[in-house]
């Protein structure tokens, strides 16, 4: 696999867009994806985004979301090369301001009210309760590779969560259940002069909409159930289903959402460690993050 075929991808996209050349300017780049602004000879611009697996189907999600009425950037052209996706998208320009909680609530209501998409992966009750056991499988593979050897506490926590998962996952398919953005943060909501657009649909799936609301305030700071409760109430006021406030799994909605969102993040981090990143040098940082999230999961899900 090419380490990063962005130049070749851009050539493919320029051909598809009937352009001969473009000047590239980095906006945000990391090991698995990148965003650039490209300027064409006539002075017009577009956003060039490229990403490797598992982020290589975002063009499909964006086109589908747009078809279903979700405000997203228009995809002008897309191409796949050597396991990497490239997209040319509409340049939304600078943000008028940063998105606030009310903006997030309104955007979530629109997204969660969209018709379900059969093409998206599904995270239902059965799949949700497998997250701790799948994490244990990742841990086993890491240990077979002589990694994560001093992580017995991680194994113990995952065992405890796995035993409680059936009871605590109850209510996963209660409304709002449907489109989940999964990277739902203020930075994924562009507020422009002509309204708002949702960005970053690379990991969209069908599942509990509460996971989006739980992700809005990020995972760097400690989880804040009271703050999420306020956001859930704003969501309902903005037109979201009142069921968003209903208890599930024997827990308050905000604790359920924050706990399962952290568990979802743990499984993702561990899959990254063993599959997508697969770099032992990153293990200390990943283990630290997983430990922190698992502590939160045990507390929030009352295990």
Chain centre to alpha carbon of residue 136: 21
Q: Which residue has the tokens 């698992």?
A: 294
What's residue 115's pLDDT?
85
Percentage of residues of the chain with pLDDT beyond 90: 88
| Bridge partners, residue 197, by sequence | 190
Q: Is the pLDDT of residue 76 over 50?
A: yes
Percentage of residues of the chain with pLDDT beyond 70: 99
Task: State whether CATH 3.30.200.20 applies to domain 6-89.
Answer: yes
Of 1-15, 57-71, 277-291, the least confident: 1-15
| Bridge partners, residue 195, by sequence | 192
What's residue 30's pLDDT?
84
Cis peptide before 69 (omega within 30 of 0): no
Spatial distance between the Cα atoms of 147 and 213, rounded to a whole number of angstroms? 34
Q: Which residue has the tokens 């009310």?
A: 102
Q: Count other C-beta atoms under 10 Å from residue 156's C-beta.
A: 11
Residue 134 banded pLDDT, cuts 50, 70, 90: very high
Q: Is the pLDDT of residue 128 over 70?
A: yes
CATH number among 3.90.1200.10, 3.40.50.300, 3.30.450.40, 3.30.70.270, domain 101-300:
3.90.1200.10
Dihedral of CA atoms 271, 274, 278, 283 in degrees, nearest 10, equals 90
Question: At how many degrees (to 10) do helices 152-168 and 253-271 cross?
Answer: 140
Residue 69 banded pLDDT, cuts 50, 70, 90: very high
Residue 194 banded pLDDT, cuts 50, 70, 90: confident
Listed residue (158, 155, 206) closest to 182, CA to CA: 206
Spatial distance between the Cα atoms of 108 and 111, rounded to a whole number of angstroms? 5
- Return phi, psi of residue 89, to 5°: -125, 165
- The predicted model gives 158-168 an average pLDDT of 98
First to last CA, the chain: 43
Q: Is the pLDDT of residue 2 over 70?
A: no
Q: Which two tokens stand for residue 138?
A: 């990742």
Residue 277 banded pLDDT, cuts 50, 70, 90: confident
Name the residue ranges covered by the structural domains of the chain.
6-89, 101-300
Q: Is the pLDDT of residue 82 over 90?
A: no
What's residue 1's pLDDT?
42
Mean pLDDT for the chain overall: 95
């Amino acid at each position: 696999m090419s380490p990063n075929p962005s130049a070749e991808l851009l050539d493919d996209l320029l051909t598809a867009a009937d352009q001969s050349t473009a000047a590239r300017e980095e906006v945000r780049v990391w090991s698995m994806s990148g965003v650039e602004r490209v300027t064409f000879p006539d002075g017009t611009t577009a956003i060039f985004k490229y990403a490797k697996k598992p982020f290589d189907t975002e063009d499909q999600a964006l086109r589908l979301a747009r078809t279903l009425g979700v405000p997203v950037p228009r995809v002008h052209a897309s191409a796949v090369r050597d396991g990497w996706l490239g997209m040319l998208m509409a340049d939304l320009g600078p943000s008028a301001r940063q998105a606030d909680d009310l903006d997030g609530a309104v955007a979530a209501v629109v997204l969660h009210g969209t018709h379900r998409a059969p093409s998206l992966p599904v995270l239902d009750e059965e799949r949700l309760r497998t997250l701790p056991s799948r994490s244990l499988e990742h841990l086993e593979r890491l240990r077979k590779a002589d990694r994560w050897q001093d992580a017995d506490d991680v194994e113990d926590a995952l065992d405890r969560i796995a035993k409680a998962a059936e009871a605590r996952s109850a209510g996963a398919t209660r409304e709002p259940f449907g489109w989940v953005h999964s990277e739902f943060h203020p930075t994924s909501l562009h507020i422009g002069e002509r309204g708002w657009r949702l960005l970053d649909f690379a990991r969209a799936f069908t599942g509990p909409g509460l996971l989006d609301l739980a992700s809005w305030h990020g995972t760097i700071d400690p989880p804040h159930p009271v703050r999420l409760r306020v956001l859930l109430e704003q969501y309902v006021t903005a037109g979201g289903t009142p069921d968003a406030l209903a208890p599930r799994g024997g827990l308050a909605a905000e604790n359920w959402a924050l706990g399962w969102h952290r568990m979802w993040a743990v499984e993702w981090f561990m899959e990254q460690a063993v599959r997508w990143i697969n770099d032992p040098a990153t293990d200390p940082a990943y283990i630290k993050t997983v430990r922190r999230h698992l502590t939160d999961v045990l507390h929030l899900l009352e295990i």
